[in-house]
Amino acid sequence: MTSNTLHRRNFLRQAGLAGAGLAAASAIPLVSPARESDAPLPKGKAEHCIMIWLGGGACHIDTWDPKRLGDAKAKKPGSYYPAIDTAIPGTQVCEHLPRCAAVLDRFNIIRTVHHEVIDEHAAATNRMHTGRPTSGAITYPSIGSIVAHQRGAAGEGVPAYILIGYPNVTRGPGFLGARYNYVYLTDTQSGPSGFTLPPDVRSDRQSRRERLLAEVRGDYLRRAADAKFARDYDATIAEAMRLSGPQFMQVFQLDSEPDDLREAYGSEFGQRCLLARRLVQSGVRFIEVSHNLNFINGTGWDTHNDGQLNQHLLIQELDKALATLVLDLERQRLLDKTLIFVASEFGRPAGFDGGGGRGHHSQSFSVVLAGGGLQNGKTIGVTDELGMKIASRPVSVPDLHATIHCALGIDPAAELVAAGDRPVPITDLGQPVRELF
């Protein structure tokens, strides 16, 4: 690190303290407190990560942090469902999570995650995926792309990062570039598109196409002053060609799994979780599994108004698939090597809206971790009697990201480079939750 870099960083920090306007204009958002400890960062032994995304805003007090019972009709604040005991003494969860409750000693619940984004789903989703506020000056990479950049794929002939859900810039590589983007699929029946040739295109015809494209591309690159777009396109095409062989496509053949196991996983969301296990076995490093596409309750996790009435259907679907995934990975001797984390963009308040549902709440909500070689069976943080405020042990989004990176053996303070020369730490001064290591 050069002295110029150090001088520049000190200037940015001082500018951030001088006023919010300068902080917003700086390359590195300064929204987290200074490092809590100079102790060596923990280094976990996880080799893979499965992120289960509950898009829409899952209610923490109706799932992982139950409180006293409320009444939507009477507008009495509180949890919508009774609580049940779990394999962690003293920790309860919602009654619709019985399978997870029975194996919760393989989990950790962090009940005090927080950020300040309330009304914008997109901005909150970006915050949870990138660990930083949305910036007009720079597009930050998602946690999946950072893991792909730092660790690469763990196997031959597979990508480092797969998204099972709709593509979105929030999940993308940002300034890291197309090389660290995701491969995506929107359902488990068809698998990823674009990796197999049409029946009428033989290999010799494909080779001719590639030679012609190479000539056109080469001519453009010689003439273009800024060819980043073309280079990104080339990287995408090269990755698609690398993955187009039969070895990778066989991973998506879920019918090769025993019928009873597929039944244990359940619905399409469960099949996505089963596919995630197969992708881990193939060497994919980071998989995001979306649970916001199959709106079996009418609204998904965005439980305003009547969405609250059938929220239990979503919770039951999550419970079945998640518990099965944990036990399946354990049987395959992959649980210690695979970190699972279940997250949403924010939680929900204890009070009910006019339609009997809930609004948005980001001052305190829950994220669940499982496996990954962590010290599992812990409940981190305490919220108040209605889950509205943090009573002890707050965990910021940068802290959460630092925890995940440390579990995967990545230094959360290491620097990436944006816009040619801007040093951007992997996390925004996040500190890992050391109790988990």
pLDDT at residue 21, as a whole number? 34
Contact predicate 147/49, CB 8 Å: yes
Query: CB within 8 A of 70, min separation 6: which ones?
Result: 76, 77, 78, 79, 80, 350, 352
C-alpha–C-alpha distance, residues 20 and 34, integer Å: 17
pLDDT at residue 363, as a whole number? 97
Please state the rounded mean pLDDT for residues 4-31. Answer: 36
Nearest to 170 by CA among 132, 114, 117: 132
C-alpha–C-alpha distance, residues 269 and 272, integer Å: 5
Please state the rounded mean pLDDT for residues 179-183. Answer: 94
| Domain limits, the chain | 41-195+249-436, 199-242
SS3 content of the chain, % helix, strand, coil (to 5): 40, 15, 45
Higher pLDDT, 8 or 317: 317
pLDDT at residue 326, as a whole number? 98
C-alpha–C-alpha distance, residues 339 and 317, integer Å: 20
pLDDT at residue 34, as a whole number? 40
Provide the pLDDT confidence category of residue 240 given band limits of 50, 70 and 90.
low
pLDDT at residue 306, as a whole number? 82
Contact predicate 359/349, CB 8 Å: yes
Please state the rounded mean pLDDT for residues 224-231. Answer: 64
Q: How many CA atoms lie within 13 A of 5 on its CB side?
A: 10
C-alpha–C-alpha distance, residues 227 and 391, integer Å: 52
- pLDDT tens across 88-130, in order? 999 999 999 999 999 999 999 999 999 999 889 999 999 999 9
C-alpha–C-alpha distance, residues 94 and 137, integer Å: 42
Contact predicate 407/144, CB 8 Å: no
* Residue 241 scores a pLDDT above 60: no
pLDDT at residue 238, as a whole number? 63
First to last CA, the chain: 29
Higher pLDDT, 357 or 296: 357
- pLDDT tens across 32-59, in order? 334 455 789 999 999 999 999 999 999 9
C-alpha–C-alpha distance, residues 360 and 120, integer Å: 9
- pLDDT tens across 248-298, in order? 888 999 999 999 999 999 999 999 999 999 999 999 999 999 997 556 888
Q: What residues form DSSP beta bridges with 94?
A: 83
CA distances (Å), origin 145, targets 64, 90, 187, 273, 345: 28, 37, 21, 20, 18
Report percent pLDDT > 70 for the chain.
81
Query: CB within 8 A of 118, min separation 6: which ones?
Result: 124, 346, 360, 361, 362
Q: How many residues does the chain have?
A: 437
pLDDT at residue 369, as a whole number? 98
Please state the rounded mean pLDDT for residues 7-34. Answer: 35
Higher pLDDT, 6 or 324: 324
Give kind and range of the element (H or E) at residue 422: strand 422-425
Nearest to 86 by CA among 66, 114, 111: 66
pLDDT at residue 208, as a whole number? 77
Q: Which CATH architecture has domain 41-195+249-436?
A: 3-Layer(aba) Sandwich (3.40)
Contact predicate 186/293, CB 8 Å: yes
C-alpha–C-alpha distance, residues 289 and 294, integer Å: 12
Higher pLDDT, 8 or 432: 432
Nearest to 385 by CA among 57, 83, 108, 61: 61
Q: What residues form DSSP beta bridges with 50?
A: 287, 340
* Residue 175 scores a pLDDT above 90: yes
* Mean pLDDT (the chain, rounded): 86
Query: CB within 8 A of 74, min separation 6: which ones?
Result: none
